[in-house]
Structure 1
Amino acid sequence: MTVQPAVLEQHGQDESFHRGWPPQAVLFPESTEEVSRVVRAAAAAHTPIIPFGVGTSLEGHVAALRGGVCLDMSRMNRVLEVNADDMGCWVQAGVTRVQLNRHLHDTGLFFPVDPGADATLGGMAATRASGTNAVRYGTMRDNVRSLTVVLPNGSVTRTGRVVRKSSAGYDLTALFVGSEGTLGVITEVALRLHGQPEAAAAAVCAFADLKGAVETATLVMQSGIPVARIELLDELQIDAINRYSRTSLRVAPTLFFEFHGSAAAVKEAAEAAGALAAEFGGSGCSWAEQEEERRRLWAARHSAYYAAKALRPGCAGFLTDLCVPLSKLTETVLAAQALCRRHGLLAPLVGHVGDGNFHMLLIIDAGNAAEVAAAKRCVDEMVHLAQDVGGTCTGEHGIGFGKLGHLEREHGMPALLAMHAIRAALDPLNIMNPGKLGSQPADFAAAAHLDDPAAAA
């Protein structure tokens, strides 16, 4: 355990724009048993518990809004079991996705959920993470088979079984995946693994305008072309990546494709996608078939957030995370861009457009009150755009405290009351990451002001 101020500050802040709220102490457990003992002690003292992976969340998930103890899971980093025949594994919550895939290197298997950051698998389960591969392999919701969870009273439960399906009782695994540390502490995760594809190829295709790029992505999905990844970047984001990663991509709206399968299937899918792209103004497609080439390409794509921030050194990134039905993707993307221009904001765009998910990366001066206020208004308006066409305020980043204020408009008060009832049943003392999901509905409006400097007082 430590109470060093620098460590406390680090553990109260994630990668988001939102202000940090440090805990009062940080503990580093190494087993489920140690987590259980800590939670029992915290319950007896009515002390909040905030789980922490590596701090890559983007909505203030780890902020200790009411003080308490942070549980840093980084020392729980053992791969417990790999069962190649069943295509699954058990890992401790502090294992990262890159660490797991290195461990799996010689098995012919891999874990596909790739949010970009080298996040912990426990944190990815807690936030229901997604990423560039979700269009083919699904999100954490689709790839978590079972969990070991320490409940708010310190007792330990294992949810579900590692079989591919079960109808035995309530689906507690699904309840804890995406619960963001508000219902218990995830200490172990059983994951579904996938076979490494026989062949893979990636392509970069530039377009005359953003509309053509988005419509290509939509039609590729509607046509049933089997893509593993399909990512959209606007010209501003491409320029930022070129500067940051020293690439030489054409500065234009761009789609990144990747195809997995047999050599023949990859070739057929790539040709079909290329033909559709040409119909909508796509040109100059370049291909990368060697693994090293593909790694460089996707490393550049994953640098998008930091590349965008580098456009205005010293400024902060305020991210949106909208997800809409594919039929509404083009109009929503164009409307979101127009909103950012109207508010005078620098906002590169990236998106996992194969599943209707895109991000506007607002790069703002956090010390400029007028600019921050404009960004908040713009984000609220973009969320409303998505919700009004049947979409959601978050496709993969989760709620934290940053998006708490958008939940009533999206789900309605009866749903919020149901969430609160579930939380109150499991955590009657309200010690698990308080002030976040499952809070009293009265707390939702207050969340909008938690970034204000006066809130700290």
Structure 2
Amino acid sequence: MSIIGDPERISTSESVRRQHGQDLTSYHAQHLPDAVLFPKNKDELREIVAYANQVKCPIVPYGLGTSVEGQVVPVRGGISLDFTRMNRILDIRENDFAVRVEPGVTRMQLNRELQKHGLFFPIDPGVDATLGGMVATNASGCSAVRYGTTREQVLGMEAVLADGSFIRTGSLARKSSAGYNLTQLLAGSEGTLAVFSELSLRIYGRPETFLYAKAVFPDLHRVCRTANRMLYQSVQPGKLELVDEYTIQAINAYMRTNYAVKPTLFLELSGWESTVKAEWERVEAILKTEGAEEWSHTFDGDAGEQLWDARRHAALAIAASAPGKKLMTTDVCVPLSVLPEAVLYAREVMQAEDMQGAILGHIGDGNYHAVFPVDMSRSEEAEKAERINAFIVRFALERGGTCTGEHGIGLGKKKHLEEEQGDTLTWMKKIKELFDPNHILNPEKIF
């Protein structure tokens, strides 16, 4: 391979391999790749994949390592394929509200460039991440209540299949009825079916006005009920987030803030100034009706970003509150009507098992997380966390929900996928066999 001739773009050093052997904060065990390769264009990418398929060497795509279900962990060794040097923004089509990018472009990098054009890419998973990784896991986060998940933003893509051939799906058009929707099949496939070389994404005009707010409540149930009432009364928030008292306590310690240590609702409204002000009046009426203890809002962008930084850094704050431990995170998503009951059930299960943990999530779309710092060297603690996770997932599945709203399956949720999908899993495995008969693409993930 031509890339092997460039010592700066292939590494077998232990420190680099360790960096690529685990994700950011999750509990999944570290596994080192045999080598880390840094392709700089799609021709090199194709050459690497074709060679790996020929010698049956595993390939695991790697962006910034922010996945939380072990998607980047090379459990069978092989090649960790680092995309950070395939980070060019190829084409910004302002009038089409579309952009073409390489997979190593990060969402913050893209938004810095789009801001010059009065545009933005809305998906915010809470950390900076490569767009390739976000598409691979169908990431969503805070803004999904208004804009949907990453999958809804993908117009098309170019990808390298396991045999080294290229496939191009979708187009720059806003819709299509042309054949099977392979774009949506590959989005969310977690690197198990193909390796992205180019992405075409939707982008949006920046709203005129942003309003940032938070409201404090006496209990979690009222937070959930308030969120549901807002949506029922046609309030269209850009972000709508639940953060419990445990999370607030961790945020205060991590960010030196002084927020009231009680269940809190974080909210963002955006649009024309007159519309935003009218919506805020409706929100205030709902807050009063639902018994919010206090609330505040601001139109100031710097103050708003500071407020949302607290929510974005919640996972890091929880990790910092328990040094030496790893985070196990549930990721269920339930129908909106079930959410208040589901959140209360999660808290009851945690208390019954005497497990301290946080509850937070994107309650505008029914996706919430219970987060437990776990000492993985203590088998009884790890087993307890797994048991709580299983209870919460089963509760969601029995009420029409899913085991993962945004984190994907990876290593951690394979048994829950079996429980959720049943016989459908057989057809998923057949698709995997068709795309990757030698099982070199991110092996042991999902199945």
The TM-score, its normalising length taken from structure 1, stands at 0.94
* Structure 1 residue matching 2:372: 3-state secondary structure: strand
Match of 2:429 among 405, 415, 420: 420
| Alignment coverage as a number of residue pairs | 437
Match of 2:204 in 1: 194
- Residue 10 (structure 1) shift: 1.4
Match of 1:287 among 281, 297, 304: 297
* Structure 1 residue matching 2:241: 3-state secondary structure: strand
Distance 1:306 1:430 in 2: 34
- Residue 74 (structure 1) shift: 0.5
Is the Cα contact below 8 Å between 2:59 and 2:442 reproduced in 1?
yes
* Structure 2 residue matching 1:323: 3-state secondary structure: coil
Match of 2:442 in 1: 433
* Structure 2 residue matching 1:104: 3-state secondary structure: helix
Match of 1:53 in 2: 63
Query: Which residue identity lines up with residue 418 of structure 1 in the other structure?
Result: W
Per-residue deviation, residues 41-81 of structure 1 (Å, max 9, x unmatched): 11110111111111000001012122211110000011011
Matching of residue 231 in structure 1 with residue 272 in structure 2 = no
Kindly, what percent of the aligned residue pairs are identical? 45
Match of 2:307 in 1: 297
Distance 1:309 1:62 in 2: 19
Match of 2:12 among 3, 23, 31: 3
Match of 1:142 in 2: 152
Match of 1:249 in 2: 259
Matching of residue 13 in structure 1 with residue 22 in structure 2 = yes
Is the Cα contact below 8 Å between 1:346 and 1:364 reproduced in 2?
no
Match of 1:67 among 66, 73, 77: 77
- Residue 178 (structure 1) shift: 0.2
Match of 1:378 among 388, 395, 399: 388
Match of 1:361 in 2: 371
Match of 2:353 among 331, 343, 354: 343
- Residue 179 (structure 1) shift: 0.4
- Any stretches of 5+ residues in structure 1 without a counterpart? 440-457
Query: Which residue identity lines up with residue 147 of structure 1 in the other structure?
Result: M
Match of 2:4 in 1: none
Per-residue deviation, residues 197-228 of structure 1 (Å, max 9, x unmatched): 01110111001111111110111112221111
Match of 1:397 in 2: 407
Distance 2:322 2:56 in 1: 43
* Structure 2 residue matching 1:314: 3-state secondary structure: coil
Match of 1:116 among 118, 126, 130: 126
Equivalent residue runs for 1:400-411 within 5 Å: 400-411=410-421
* Structure 1 residue matching 2:403: 3-state secondary structure: coil
**Coordinate RMSD, CA, aligned:** 1.0
Equivalent residue runs for 1:210-229 within 5 Å: 210-229=220-239
Per mean C-alpha deviation after superposition, the further-off stretch among 267-276 and 71-80 is: 267-276
Is the Cα contact below 8 Å between 2:27 and 2:374 reproduced in 1?
no
Distance 1:37 1:63 in 2: 22
Query: Which residue identity lines up with residue 275 of structure 1 in the other structure?
Result: A
Match of 2:3 in 1: none
Per-residue deviation, residues 291-312 of structure 1 (Å, max 9, x unmatched): 1011100111111111112222
The structure 1 segments of at least 4 consecutive aligned residues displaced by more than 4 Å after TM superposition are none
* Structure 1 residue matching 2:364: 3-state secondary structure: helix
* Structure 1 residue matching 2:11: 3-state secondary structure: coil
Is the Cα contact below 8 Å between 1:345 and 1:364 reproduced in 2?
no
Per mean C-alpha deviation after superposition, the further-off stretch among 284-293 and 305-314 is: 305-314
* Structure 1 residue matching 2:60: 3-state secondary structure: strand
- Any stretches of 5+ residues in structure 2 without a counterpart? 1-9
Per-residue deviation, residues 163-182 of structure 1 (Å, max 9, x unmatched): 00001111111011000000
- Residue 420 (structure 1) shift: 0.6
Match of 1:454 in 2: none
- Residue 240 (structure 1) shift: 1.3
Match of 1:448 in 2: none
Is the Cα contact below 8 Å between 1:213 and 1:277 reproduced in 2?
no
Distance 1:46 1:231 in 2: 44
Equivalent residue runs for 1:302-317 within 5 Å: 302-317=312-327
Query: Which residue identity lines up with residue 188 of structure 1 in the other structure?
Result: E
* Structure 2 residue matching 1:324: 3-state secondary structure: coil
The TM-score, its normalising length taken from structure 2, stands at 0.96
Distance 1:236 1:306 in 2: 13
- Residue 28 (structure 1) shift: 0.3
Distance 1:250 1:287 in 2: 15
Query: Which residue identity lines up with residue 74 of structure 2 in the other structure?
Result: A
Query: Which residue identity lines up with residue 406 of structure 2 in the other structure?
Result: E
Is the Cα contact below 8 Å between 2:137 and 2:408 reproduced in 1?
yes
Match of 1:131 in 2: 141
Match of 1:320 in 2: 330
Query: Which residue identity lines up with residue 185 of structure 1 in the other structure?
Result: V
Per-residue deviation, residues 241-267 of structure 1 (Å, max 9, x unmatched): 111111121111110010011001101
Is the Cα contact below 8 Å between 1:207 and 1:283 reproduced in 2?
yes
